[in-house]
Structure 1
């Protein structure tokens, strides 16, 4: 399977704005299918990033610090990875850095001239293409009218929608590339093609009186089996990232308006670059409608509806809602868009608490009120959804969210939650006959992270009933284990379950993650007729599936036939107080989405085709009910008897029986998996060279590459 991580370099030399704008654009175009992750020099030097990376992207900034940090081992790894089929994309400084030689502002105090070790393009990058560049201002910026060679992209003509051949693109300090066709040499490198050229007003940095015609601005280079695209311009910059007051020179005072006029064309250009590099672009990022494309760039979070799911007792419902309302206060400015605003000021967020009003088919939360509360917090890209930043003189370190309390007669219908039928979900939850797990349902169409929302807001968490489940259709900053992010394509069921677990010696808390992952697999396979679905477990808590590629996923074209691919995982957060654990199980399960790998419903269709059966697909609403009910069934037994009764079933479902592995932290010593310790959750492996030696591997400290049989220490 091909990698799903988009790695964005962040280290010395990277421009802060360049990095932020790049990450926003990458997420706009690619986050439906890939995880956009920031990585530093140490990650590239020490971690095994290659197997999971789809592309590595270098932003603008200064290329000399890149050289100082990455020369040697990192450059060697990047180059070898690209040769094996990887992808490198460099903008401005990243374009200079990916070239064989750099000539930057010769004869000036900013002069940088020298060879570059990475050299994915063997030639020279010469800059600046235009005079006036200044490291500390926007004086050198221009809206360059670049000439696009559509024939070089290998995308359908319909992709361009009749766009003009010249597209306005942001430029500031980049160079042009001395390709063979441009210099007039006999072509030596047939693996380099020019995608975009500068207009005729480019000048020679050695002699600014000399114009340079047809200078290559964006080039594509074949590097072994891989590809490198280097750009002297910034097609990843959108007009609404920029402040008009920054541009005061005669040649750039209209920069923002020019870029805005050509924004649809620019988006199709950057989309064509990604497509040229064999990445799958979100079609919503290419739409012409201004409001739609802005929404994909800066999606708004939506209200979280809080409803009783498996609780029918009116007194219990009222008690929970009264507890939540009692801790909220009315701030000095009580009226927001005509609504009496009540706020629970928690550790990370101001949570605006609303009591839903009845009304058939009517919006229960005023759209003006939603906008007033949630829209102002759409700040520029920050490292974390909860990181502090200042925008336009206002502190955006705190997020604002909206919690809508719903009684059984005010449950939202699909007019308010069009991508998740809450009333259908509640029916399935009640039919599944559980009681505690899934007792209350929280749902948001779009949120930062179901896990982080509960984890970072301790006052809210303390008031939620045991078994509350927080569900979202889309997460903007979904989290995985360690430094990983979680991709949230439509059809993926992502939810966080709150469990308050007593400190019992017979039911060790470390085994709960195994119990949850086992419950998810068995919830599906225990349905009549579904027993044969090839769902499996990877230690410690990932869900895998045996899938036959049919050209609809990100699997390597070098592989054919069935392969195990990841379709789900568990992230556990915990705290301990008064002899009780508060556990948050963050789960992401591909239920109905075909991409980026496969899903439970894809497996069902494959199974039907192979066996002539007619098994029905499972909706996310029903899957949630099945998962939570099965976990409660298992959990009740676990509290009394521990994990021992589940061990045989766990081994039946896992991928590791007698598997041979290499221990990276023990000089790649070979060993065989022998089992799982039911007291502490450690994986037990026996050395092949010393059969008397058994190693115990902790679930939270090791990373298991099941496809390569490699176990290594996880770097956080």
Structure 2
């Protein structure tokens, strides 16, 4: 299930960051925490796949304007469908019946009713004087008291008090300000003002806060605001355990399932990036040559390269690992200078002790000697983002030999998706980015290369690698969802049908078209970044695949266990667990062959294989921008890779009108077939 964090007009970037970090720390792997905007909330069918919608801190007025059209959907999601709403600070104001902010202050005053009305009273603030927009001048460590009498401090900057919270039957106060407030909070002026409330709204609940219990002190310590008081973060650090416990308790009261190891879940330090190419040592020589001819400088036997967004310190030989690793220890992952170690002729593979989660020697044992893609491996145990690191530093990317590099990481702390979403990619999700170069024209046919098809080739290659991993793997129920996502059958669906898959191959994973949505869940997605370097296309194919991490969907190794239960009952040999090293090598082998075939012969040979593995054969879609006509998918165009849909006659699933449409996706979407842009061609 999803937890969706609003990130649009009104949302403070800092608040979004703190909200994502805290919620992911507490809720993953049980929920996928990602960002959305008002357009997605308005146009996508998100409610059925979502547990909570979150509005972070920022400014409440832009929320009311930007999200006016989606208010009815949010209210229905909570009150009718049993969903949850979370509002931090500005998000808390946003969900009240009425806002009274900085009354009689000509520069700050905001007064008016609000539409959501999850809290049926007034959100009045700032609870403490001193607030300034886009400033830390009014920030403080506010003392909160919870019902059991315990107290702790949390970050506060401009939030409200929920006035007269006690008089509403549907409101439970989870925390109160234990200090004198600068605004009235009750009719009789007695007691303590409500800082955090849980509102019961129809079938659902709304959790609203005035302060910021989601704020992470260690991130506050890195602020550069001239009004920032560093002592605030120092005080909050002393209460970090209490803050996390309170966050878990209030999310649990909301009905969300939190993980039990949240106290240990912090962004880990990065590790050095290790570059090896034991099968093609000439590639390392070429990289060294390119590095020597670049504008990099050498200081004390360390090459320093300044990329567009990152600086890299490049060492030679794995005996330098200790030095390179210490430079990264306890440093902010997105800000620290990155370290790279190039292997030596004496030690062509990374020592296993440096890479406990990825055996580089095993990877190259399964990589075909003729394979070009992935023949130079850059591996890191803990990395920022395999895709963003290379895409944001073209100077570094241009140094690697063409169509040679695969960047792999075991844990990503700044993984990125198609909609700009950022997440922590945990162990068990294989994160990789393959660097592929393509000519402008085919040397065989002379025709221009249509790079849009590379996303299809990559996902087809991954699918073939999985199904061909070992004998019996052809029974794994994995399919391609157009254009470049990989889906697996949901174990719950499989069990509900009481079916067997062993020995059925692709036929076993077929389900009725009407049941695609409940039957399949995403286990992998592809992000393609396209650049033009050295007079050729340079593409970065970033992919994250659930190999053994089930949250929040399923994984390949879970399906290996399920199929082994079938095989054991039939006295058949058991399937081996999927090893990341072998799978990545098989992916590269298949991708290399498909890329070469594509360059020389186009898409004619590739498309039939893609159709065999996709979910959409004969699928019927509704074209909302053409009077909701119904059309059947019949294939993909060979020029721009668009879906081809033939219009169905009214009331029929088999008769056609003769009209044909070409379809493309409308940006980032949860359900690709709910947001298609169609163009009539016949």
TM-score using structure 1 length: 0.79
Distance in 2, Cα, partners of 1:73 & 1:279: 27
Partner of 1:630: 590
Q: Write the distance in 2 (CA, Å) between the matches of 1:198 and 1:29.
A: 24
Matched, 1:705 2:666: no
| Equivalence for 1:692 | 658
Query: For the structure 1 residues 511 and 114, does the alpha-carbon distance in structure 2 shift closer, same or farther, using more than 3 Å as the test?
Result: closer
Superimposed CA distance per residue, residues 675-697 of structure 1 (whole angstroms, 9 cap, x where no aligned partner): 22344322111111462011122
Confirm whether residue 492 of structure 1 aligns to residue 429 of structure 2.
yes
The answer as to whether partners of 2:45 and 2:674 remain within 8 angstroms in 1 is no
The more displaced of 39-48 and 214-223 is: 39-48
Over residues 8-55 of structure 1, what are the superposed CA-to-partner deviations in whole Å (9 max), with x where a residue is unaligned? Answer: 33423x455444443443454456665554545555456665566553
In the other structure, the counterpart of 2:438 is 501
How many Å apart are 1:188 and its aligned residue? 4.2
Residues of 2 paired with 1:571 and 1:57: CA distance?
A: 25
SS at match of 1:327: coil
Within the candidate set 99, 104, 120, 1:102 is matched to 99
Q: How is 1:49-448 mapped onto 2 (pairs within 5 angstroms)?
A: 50=47, 53-70=50-67, 72-83=68-79, 84-106=81-103, 110-131=108-129, 133=131, 135=133, 140-149=138-147, 165-178=150-163, 182-183=166-167, 188-189=169-170, 192-199=171-178, 201-203=179-181, 205-206=183-184, 211-242=189-220, 255-281=232-258, 283-287=260-264, 296-297=266-267, 299-311=268-280, 314-315=281-282, 317-327=284-294, 329-330=296-297, 334=299, 340-358=301-319, 364-367=320-323, 369-372=324-327, 400-407=337-344, 409-410=346-347, 411-429=349-367, 432=368, 434-448=370-384
Match in the other structure for 1:595: 551
* Structure 1 residues 611 and 521: CA distance shift in structure 2, 3 A: same
Offset at residue 713 of structure 1 (A): 4.0
Kindly tell me: are residues 281 and 578 of structure 1, through their superposed partners in 2, closer, same or farther at Cα, counting changes over 3 Å? same
Deviates more, 1:618-627 or 1:522-531: 522-531
Equivalent position of 1:455 in the other structure: 391
Looking at structure 1, the residues matched to 217 and 419 of structure 2 have their Cα atoms a distance apart, in angstroms, of: 35
Q: Structure 1: where are the runs of 5+ without partners?
A: 151-163, 288-292, 359-363, 379-384, 386-395, 553-558
Measured after TM superposition, the shift of residue 594 of structure 1 is 1.4
CA distance in 1, matches of 2:141, 2:387: 41
Offset, 1:206: 4.2
Deviations 1:452-501 (A, max 9, x none): 22223223222312231111112233222344556622111111112222
Matched, 1:511 2:453: yes
Say if 1:342 and 1:352, in contact at 8 Å, map to a contact too: yes
1:8 is matched with which residue? 6
Question: In structure 1, what is the Cα distance between the partners aligned to 2:190 and 2:130?
Answer: 17
Deviation larger for 634-643 or 493-502: 634-643
Q: Check 1:713–1:48 CA distance in 2 against 1; reply closer, same or farther (3 A cut).
A: farther
Rounded to whole Å, the distance in 2 between the matches of 1:172 and 1:62 is: 12
Q: For the Cα contact (< 8 Å) 2:35–2:421, is it kept in 1?
A: no
For residues 562-577 of structure 1, what are the structure 2 equivalents within 5 Å? 563-576=519-532
How far the C-alpha of 1:365 sits from its partner, in A, is: 1.9
Structure 2 CA distance for partners of 1:131 and 1:541, relative to 1, 3 Å: closer
Q: Please give the alpha-carbon distance, in whole angstroms, between the structure 1 residues aligned to 2:176 and 2:667.
A: 49
Per the TM alignment, residue 91 of structure 1 is displaced from its structure 2 partner at its CA by 1.6
Deviations 1:275-325 (A, max 9, x none): 3334454555324xxxxx6xx15x4332211100542xx555434434334
Measured against aligned partners, the alpha-carbon deviations of 1:387-422 in whole angstroms (never above 9, x if no partner) come to: xxxxxxxxx6xx632221013543333432233232
1:209: Cα distance to partner? Answer: 13
Is this contact kept in 1: 2:664–2:677, CA < 8 A?
Answer: no
CA positional deviation for 1:353: 1.3
CA contact (8 A) 2:411 2:424 kept: no
**In the superposition, relative to structure 1, how do residues 285 and 563 fare at CA in structure 2: closer, same or farther (>3 Å)?**
same
Aligned mates of 1:131, 1:166 — CA distance in 2? 22
Deviation at 1:197, TM superposition (A): 2.6
Residue equivalent to 1:663: 623
- Compared with structure 1, are the counterparts of its residues 493 and 280 closer, same or farther at alpha carbon in structure 2 (3 Å cutoff)? farther
User: Could you say if the C-alpha distance between residues 521 and 348 of structure 1 is closer, same or farther in structure 2, counting changes exceeding 3 Å?
Assistant: same
Deviates more, 1:230-239 or 1:634-643: 634-643
Distance 1:325 1:691, change over 3 A: same
Mark the CA change 1:375 to 1:116 in structure 2 (over 3 Å): closer, same or farther.
Answer: same
3-state SS of 1:601 partner: helix
Secondary structure of residue in 2 paired with 1:531: helix
Q: Are the aligned partners of 1:548 and 1:561 in contact in 2 as well (CA < 8 Å)?
A: no
**Alpha-carbon distance in structure 2 between the residues aligned to 1:370 and 1:435:** 31
Work out the CA distance in 2 between the residues paired with 1:713 and 1:694. 13
User: Structure 2, unaligned stretches of length 5 or more?
Assistant: 496-514, 650-655
Spell out, residue by residue over 1:127-181, the C-alpha distance to the aligned partner (whole angstroms, 9 max, x if none).
344455555765654433322247xxxxxxxxxxxxx82222233333333466x
